[in-house]
Amino acid sequence: MKFRLSNGVVYEPAAQALTKENENTPPIKLDNLEAMLLSFFIQHSQQVLHKQTLMDLWPTSIVMEHSLMRVISSLRKKLGDNPEQAKFIKTVPRRGYQFIGSVEQLPTEKVNKQPVKDEAWLNYRLLFLLCALVILAASYFWLTNTTAHNLAEEQTVTPVVFVDFETKKSDISVNPSGNWLLYLAENLGGSKLYIRLKRLTDNKHIDLKSSELEILAASWHTDDEILFIAHENQTCKIFKAILNSDQLSPPIPLSNCHQSENTQQIAPAAELYQFSSLLTNNSHGTRDNQFQANTYKFVTSPNRQYLASLSKTETKGTLISLFNTEAIGSPIWTIELEIPLNNVALSNSRLSFINYWGQLTYYDITTKQLIDYQTKFTSSIYSPTTSATNELIVLEGSTEESAIWLHNLKTSENRQLFELSRAKIDMPLFVTENQIAFISDYSGNEQVWLHSLQENSMKQLTHFQLKERVKSFDISLQDNILAIEESTGISIFTFNDAKQPSLVGFIDEGTLPAINDGYIYFVKKQNSTSSIFKYNLYSRTIDLVISEGSYYRLIDTEIIFSKASENGLWRYNNESSVRIPNTQYIPNASTFSVYQKLIIFSHQSTDALDIETGERVNTLTTLNCVSFSLAGHCLQIKNKKIANKIIKLSKVK
């Protein structure tokens, strides 16, 4: 089966290939994900397909939206499509994609069988075919026991889990012989990093802890020597420690770190030290000649023949560059990813990394091919490392889980509403007495979610790609309005249960949206002074409400607000403002919450003030509520650190 698309492009699903009619050019091969999406687009031609619908096609259980965007971008290039003037795949803002190209199924090619006139010629042909089959069978047997078997060994791996439930782990690396794993460990409930070595043969571990050092990063230098960066008396230094007879020596100082004056971020000093002799012994021995200024990570192969560098791109992605240290000049291979990476794994023959789809891919330095590892994981993986034996080690799983608790202010009863084990919860608020809205990256990137207290269920309200992280938001189910503050202003959406929220307005440079009675209240700075405005949802006009106000909360027909220029809290009602008595000790621009006739804010403790008199009603030192309901409940976020897994990928024998 073949399909003729726009511009004479022919797609053959069985071969996963694109060709051009009447052109003698080689076919353009599609990978599995590109072919899957194109086939789905053709089946649903001219239909607007939601991003979540397309991500549900993914073979893995965890997929990020940037993975979909990357495959769409790659597919467009192979189709010769331009997203600005789309002829195949059109982007539908805030919704998804639409295949707008023409689709024509071509008739199946038929082979006309001609009668065989010469019977003797037929016998010769049959004999020839029989000999060919014997040769093919012998070749198949030989290949099955040699080449094909080796290929399966290289690509198919089985994960082996190493137990270390007491710590969360980062910055892993393995020594060249593959016996010891190094990583930065942090005890659950603690906050100080230390170095842990784990022997992979028997799970024995050795710790390097210091009360005088703030350890920041670590890596192997030789098979029995590690390098690490640490702050000592607020000075950044490079140290080494030597492994001898299953013991680590005390830290040995080597030199000071290099530090950027602009970003105040520590340069990868330990990795630079690790191969500095390689750089100074060749004609291109300065870092500026080879590496970009935004390079933040270096990795060397166990035999020191190859060097990989990671650099930030303008789109906040990652540029991976591979160099041969015998003649460092231009990289021998590069790839640009649209996702940030914190590490890659470099052995003597391959460079492994996490690709766009959250899977492991390696570049074979000898054959110059990209190959996917054929293995599955239960959650996200990161920080790959490897040894000379090509055994990979990765970290899997989140290091934190979030939960929302409901606190009854009248009875002091606490109960957990729900918990997300691989995501963060932020800014929960009561939409109604029985519904809670919150921001979470549970589905890959930040989206708005709704939780029903009655049904004890939650659903994802939005499915769009936001430009930046959500700073604040508000939602009105009565008006079907959602307001989201991003870095450039407030985006206004309308929604209902059947449709994805659609953009209907934008407030440039607006902050802190609050929806009430047909208006969106917000703060905006003009002439260096922050003021409070309201946006009319019907006429789409903006009116000034309070000429000076940096933070505010709505309560009935009043506005409680603070100023940036003066201590205290104020009440606004009937076009006039008065300062609430006894609040002069409250710092300027303070943030706070409002519950019934109480103002709740954190100063030296969590205080509740009477809105009329400003007097303290009670002190709630352990409450830490983030949102209050009229019925006397508040919401609390509780984050808990959990241990991530160490996964070694062993070859299948």
Residue 572 has a pLDDT of 93
Tokens standing for 389? Answer: 């034996």
- C-beta separation of 89 from 75 below 8 A: yes
When pLDDT is averaged across residues 41-49 and rounded to a whole number, the result is 87
Cα end-to-end span (Å), the chain: 39
Q: How far apart are CA 470 and CA 93, in angstroms?
A: 18
CA-based R_g, the chain, Å: 31
pLDDT, tens digit, 9 for 90 and up, residues 536-594: 998 989 999 999 999 999 987 899 999 988 888 999 987 788 999 988 888 887 788 88
> According to the model, what pLDDT value does residue 289 have?
43
SS3 62: coil
Alpha helices by DSSP H, 50-93? 51-55, 65-79
The listed range with the strongest mean pLDDT (1-5, 331-335, 398-402, 525-529) is 331-335
Q: How many Å apart are CA 458 and CA 403, to the nearest integer?
A: 13
Q: So what's the pLDDT on residue 376? A: 66
Q: What is the phi/psi pair of residue 370, to 5°? A: -95, 130
Distance CA 193, CA 184 (A): 6
* pLDDT on residue 113: 38
How far from 93 is each of 66, 417, 510, CA to CA, in Å? 15, 34, 22
Percent of the chain with pLDDT over 90: 19
Would you place residue 424 in the very low, low, confident or very high pLDDT band (cuts 50, 70, 90)? confident
Among 27-31, 52-56, 159-163, 395-399, the minimum mean pLDDT is found in 159-163
Query: Residue 534: which pLDDT band, with cuts at 50, 70 and 90?
Result: very high
Bridge partners of residue 253, in order along the sequence: 239
pLDDT category of residue 438 using cuts at 50, 70 and 90: very high
Mean pLDDT of the chain: 78
Residue 651, pLDDT > 70, answer no
Supply the pLDDT for residue 465: 61
Confidence of residue 119 (pLDDT cuts 50, 70, 90): very low
Taking residues 318-335, report their average pLDDT: 87
Question: Please, which residues have CB within 8 angstroms of residue 93's CB and are 6 or more apart in sequence?
Answer: 503
pTM listed for this prediction: 0.51
Q: For position 620, what pLDDT does the model report?
A: 56
579-633 pLDDT per residue, tens: 999 888 888 877 888 877 788 876 555 678 888 888 887 655 456 788 888 778 8
Strand ranges inside 388-486, DSSP E: 392-396, 400-408, 414-420, 425-432, 435-440, 447-452, 457-460, 472-476, 481-485
